């Protein structure tokens, strides 16, 4: 089975008809065995269902979608799960676990343009597993479409080594330490915008140093993504500790990662912002291969 998700910078893109990329997941025995990002090639609302059908897609996970597009998907025999948000991989995992609930037709052509407010779903939160969760892909305060990136490497598979540091010189990530270059499709939204833009114009063997402001990386923190709940409303919350990262689920039953900011006898405060939100980042990037 193949599942497709509207895709932008690691997240579920929120307007089906304007999506530039889909992430396609190959599933066997209810587990993802492989994935790839494909381009919509500028295809509009009407033809996207045909594009997905040609790819053998059985299920589409997306954000907002109109009635016409939903009908076209139904005619193509594609199951629709709309209203999803946040990290695409997490949404697919939730679907496979039976935890992703579709909201049906929900697109008014302004849907989610300014991002999501986590603070409005208080009664819908329930505590997920207490394991460490990976971070939401970096939509920051708003999950709209990213500006198009141009350059000779856009659309090509690039392999890069990199070292990432904060302004004080502290290293937060390095492909050199792992001994394996990072592979991604340039311009497909798999990387943060500033990293993608730098690689788009590089030549194989070139090394560049880039300094990224938050807007080019994981965005600025969204104050609406910090919210406080009554502990008695959230089963399991009494066992959580400050600094712990867990999954909550919204009113649709969709999981999203949060960090425990504060806790007292009666309330607990969560932060759904990306851990890198608001930070300036520095990268030394080496382009190893383009194919």
Phi, psi (deg, nearest 5) at residue 278: 85, 0
Active site residue 12: no
Ranges of the chain with pLDDT below 70:
42-46, 101-147, 249-255
* Selected catalytic residue, list 13, 21, 22, 162: 162
**pLDDT, position 201:** 96
**pLDDT, position 251:** 54
Q: Please name the residue ranges forming H helices in 152-215.
A: 175-178, 193-200
- pLDDT tens per residue, range 139-179: 333 333 344 789 999 999 999 999 999 999 999 999 999 99
* Selected catalytic residue, list 227, 247, 270, 283: 227
50 vs 266: CA distance, rounded Å: 52
Active site residue 192: yes
- The pair of structure tokens assigned to 12 is 């579920």
Which residue bears the tokens 């066992």? 239
**pLDDT, position 43:** 59
**pLDDT, position 101:** 59
Phi, psi (deg, nearest 5) at residue 64: -85, 145
Nearest residue to 143 via CA among 109, 168, 116, 181: 116
**pLDDT, position 82:** 82
* Selected catalytic residue, list 192, 226, 268, 285: 192
Which residue bears the tokens 């040609």? 54
**pLDDT, position 111:** 26
pTM: 0.49
Active site residue 227: yes
Active site residue 61: no
88 vs 14: CA distance, rounded Å: 11
Cβ-based neighbours of 165, under 8 Å, separated by 6 or more: 171, 172, 281, 282, 283
Active site residue 247: no
Active site residue 57: no
């Amino acid at each position: 089975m193949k599942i497709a998700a509207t895709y932008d910078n690691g997240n579920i893109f929120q307007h089906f008809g304007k999506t530039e990329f889909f992430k396609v997941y190959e599933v066997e025995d209810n587990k993802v065995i492989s994935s790839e990002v494909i381009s919509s090639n500028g295809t509009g609302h009407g033809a996207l269902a045909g594009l997905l059908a040609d790819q053998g897609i059985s299920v589409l996970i997306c954000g907002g979608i109109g009635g016409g597009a939903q009908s076209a998907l139904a005619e193509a025999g594609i199951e629709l799960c709309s209203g999803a948000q946040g990290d695409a991989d997490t949404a697919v995992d939730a679907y496979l676990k039976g935890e992703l609930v579709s909201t049906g037709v929900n697109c008014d052509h302004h849907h989610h343009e300014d991002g999501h407010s986590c603070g409005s779903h208080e009664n819908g939160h329930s505590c997920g597993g207490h394991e460490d969760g990976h971070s939401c892909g970096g939509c920051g305060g708003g999950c709209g479409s990213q500006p198009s990136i141009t350059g000779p490497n856009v659309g090509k598979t690039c392999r890069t080594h990199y070292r990432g540091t904060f302004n004080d010189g502290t290293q937060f990530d390095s492909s050199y330490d792992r001994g394996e270059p990072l592979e991604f499709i340039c311009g497909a939204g798999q990387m943060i915008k500033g990293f993608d833009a730098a690689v788009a114009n590089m030549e194989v063997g070139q090394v560049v140093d880039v300094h990224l402001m938050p807007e080019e990386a994981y965005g600025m923190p969204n104050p609406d993504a910090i919210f406080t709940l009554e502990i008695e409303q959230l089963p399991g919350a009494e066992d959580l500790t400050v600094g712990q990262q867990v999954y909550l689920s919204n009113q649709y039953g969709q999981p999203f990662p949060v960090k425990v900011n504060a806790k007292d006898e009666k309330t607990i405060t969560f932060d759904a912002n990306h851990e890198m939100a608001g930070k300036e980042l520095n990268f030394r990037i080496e382009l190893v291969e383009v194919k």
